[in-house]
């Protein structure tokens, strides 16, 4: 038997950072993502976000890749939103996403960060958060 625990913090935004997720829509989308992920064997520990983006703390299974998990979450969710007319305009996620590993010692910190997105974005825009994420994880140096 394999014992695997790989924590990943993901961040993904709506296309053109349109604030589709403002208000009750975010609550519906998050509930749907959790439910769908559970049925597909994807473990989402924590999910939260703001008007134009979501964060997820995910524990990957032995047969899962981050690319497949993100495709499942984003693709299925877009289809569900549009099929059920959850938004007035056609809903789309942006193409890109960020994913960074999380050590076991930092899991609680990341959980709290994700759970406090509303308060966090009262002080900081998503663009500021985005740039900090790029800098902190040195993504700009990879390209």
3-state secondary structure 74-92: HHHHHHHHHHCCCCCCCCC
CA distance 86 to 100: 30
pLDDT category at 141 given cuts 50, 70, 90 is low
**Structure confidence by residue, pLDDT tens digits, 63-105:** 999 999 999 999 999 999 999 999 999 999 999 999 999 999 9
What Å distances lie between residue 106 and 1, 100, 112, 123, 134, CA to CA?
26, 12, 10, 23, 18
Closest CA to 54 of 85, 80, 17, 24: 17
Q: Does pLDDT of 52 surpass 90?
A: yes
Let me know the angle formed at the C-alpha of 132 by 124 and 25, rounded to the nearest 5 degrees.
Answer: 50
pLDDT beyond 70 at 142: no
Per-chain mean pLDDT for the chain? 93
CA distance 127 to 83: 29
Domains of the chain by start residue, with CATH: 6-107 (3.30.70.1290)
- What is the percent of the chain with per-residue pLDDT over 90, rounded to a whole number? 80
Question: From CA 48, how far away is CA 61, in angstroms rounded?
Answer: 21
């Amino acid at each position: 038997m394999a014992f695997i625990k790989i924590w990943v913090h993901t961040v993904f935004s709506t296309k053109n950072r349109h604030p589709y997720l403002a208000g009750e829509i975010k609550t519906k989308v998050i509930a749907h993502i959790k439910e769908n992920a559970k049925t597909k064997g994807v473990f989402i520990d924590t999910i939260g976000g703001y008007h134009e983006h979501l964060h997820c703390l995910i524990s990957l299974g032995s047969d899962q890749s981050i690319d497949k998990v993100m495709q499942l979450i984003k693709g299925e969710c877009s289809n569900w939103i549009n099929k059920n007319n959850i938004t007035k305009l056609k809903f789309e996620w942006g193409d890109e996403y960020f994913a960074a590993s999380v050590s076991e010692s930092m899991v609680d910190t990341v959980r709290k960060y994700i759970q406090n997105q509303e308060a966090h974005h009262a002080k900081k825009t998503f663009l500021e958060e985005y740039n900090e994420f790029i800098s902190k994880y040195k993504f700009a140096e990879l390209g």
